[in-house]
Amino acid sequence: MPLEKGQSYIARVLCFKDRIFAISNLKKLLTLEFVPKFKVERQDVGGLHPSSAYDRWHFGPWLVECKGELLAILFIQEGRPWIIGIRVFRLDFGRIELAQVESLGNHCLFIDYAGKCPISGVDPSYWGGRSNCVYVAAPGCDAWVEYSLDNKTWSQASVSSGDTISGRLLPTKFKHS
């Protein structure tokens, strides 16, 4: 059954620091509890400015843990189906808001369009990758596509050997953070 415009559903779920977080297709952050009874609570989180570019996504939103922080990843889209960039936000628990992240430091992120769990990696130079990049596996891509948060550009990942997950390339020497 197709959703009506404006209807919401849980897009991604992530266990982080003994809590279960979810993000909806409408960019709403939720917490889930199962004990003593099931409960879904919407978190009023600031910092994510409305953008029509976020409203037409095919990719996401995504939640991922990196360096002990909860990150939300948004794909910026213009036109159809052109994805022009990625924005990464960190949940600031003290101020209860999402703050844009400009640098992942010596880390990278992996996002698989097929819905597999996104992960972060430390020291990507160890396997030939680059720090401060988001690697994306998407339909029509034979390998990971790399988005640099430094210069906001896309390129084909240069990793040439590894295992396949969902038909996508994953480096053999990958270190999970």
Shared-domain flag, residues 125 and 65: no
Question: Do residue 145 and residue 177 come from a single domain?
Answer: yes
The full DSSP string for 63-103 is EEEETTEEEEEEEEE-SSS-EEEEEEEEEETTTTEEEEES-
Domain end among 69, 93, 117? 93
Same domain, 71 and 108: no
Assess whether pLDDT exceeds 60 at residue 31: yes
User: Which residues constitute the domain of residue 66?
Assistant: 1-93
Determine contact, residues 138/59, Cβ cutoff 8 Å.
yes
Q: Is the pLDDT score of 150 beyond 90?
A: yes
Lowest mean pLDDT among 17-31, 68-82, 103-117, 122-136: 68-82
The reply to whether 75 and 114 lie within a common domain is no
- 139 pLDDT band, cuts 50/70/90, is low
Q: Is the pLDDT of residue 175 over 50?
A: no
